[in-house]
């Protein structure tokens, strides 16, 4: 009886492993393209157009639109997604602020994925530098913009280099001290 149960367990485990690794549920060790690569490729133009056309909210919850003159493909733009509950996000903010001060020609779109405006307000008390005009502050409480960017972890930065239509996507903490544009 124990032998039968053991053989059934081993058979089920083997089927599970087969379906996970060969059945396309995970692409580890597979040459199959992932679902993400089947989607339309992200471009600097598509990111900027989404920012221009979206009904955005600022950190206080007020609706606003980004003017086409505020951001341009003729300048470097960094879209940075963060949340106040994300420890690595909070830890990298001082370096991000220092980087932005050293690069006044770079425009930042800093996107909070916090669910509640009160969390953003508390965060902003710790980092009032984000009130500078070089930052466009966006509250993406419903994660619409994050879904467009396929943000599956935080922090995340999308670097749009001038005159280059292929953005650099960093899905982790950026080393702002060594970042070269």
Domain ranges of the chain: 1-31, 40-170
Q: How much is the pLDDT for 24?
A: 46
Provide mean pLDDT across the span 104-114.
94
Which CATH number is 40-170 given? 3.40.30.10
Looking at residues 53-80, what average pLDDT do you find?
Answer: 88
Q: Which residues of 4-29 are buried (b: 16+ CB within 10 A; e: fewer)?
A: eeeeeeeeeeeeeeeeeeeeeeeeee
Predicted pLDDT of residue 164: 86
C-alpha to C-alpha distance for 131 and 138, rounded to whole angstroms: 12
pLDDT at 27: 40
pTM exceeds 0.85: no
Q: Write the pLDDT tens digit of every residue in 118-177.
A: 999 999 999 999 998 889 999 998 899 899 999 999 999 999 998 888 999 999 999 999
């Amino acid at each position: 009886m124990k032998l039968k149960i053991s053989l059934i367990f081993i058979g089920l485990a083997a089927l599970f492993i087969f379906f996970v690794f060969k059945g396309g549920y995970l692409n580890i060790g597979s040459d199959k393209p992932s679902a993400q690569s089947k989607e339309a490729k992200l471009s600097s133009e598509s990111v900027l157009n989404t920012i221009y056309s979206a009904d955005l909210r600022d950190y206080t919850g007020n609706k606003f639109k980004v003017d086409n003159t505020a951001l341009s493909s003729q300048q470097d733009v960094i879209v940075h997604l963060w949340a106040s509950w994300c420890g690595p996000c909070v830890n990298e903010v001082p370096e991000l602020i220092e980087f932005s001060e050293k690069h006044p020609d770079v425009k930042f779109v800093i996107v909070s994925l916090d669910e509640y405006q009160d969390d953003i307000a508390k965060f902003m008390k710790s980092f009032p530098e984000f009130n500078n005009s070089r930052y466009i502050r966006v509250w993406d409480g419903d994660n619409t913009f994050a879904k467009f960017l396929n943000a599956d972890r935080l922090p995340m930065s999308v670097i749009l280099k001038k005159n280059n239509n292929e953005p650099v996507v960093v899905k982790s903490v950026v080393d702002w001290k060594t970042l070269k544009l």
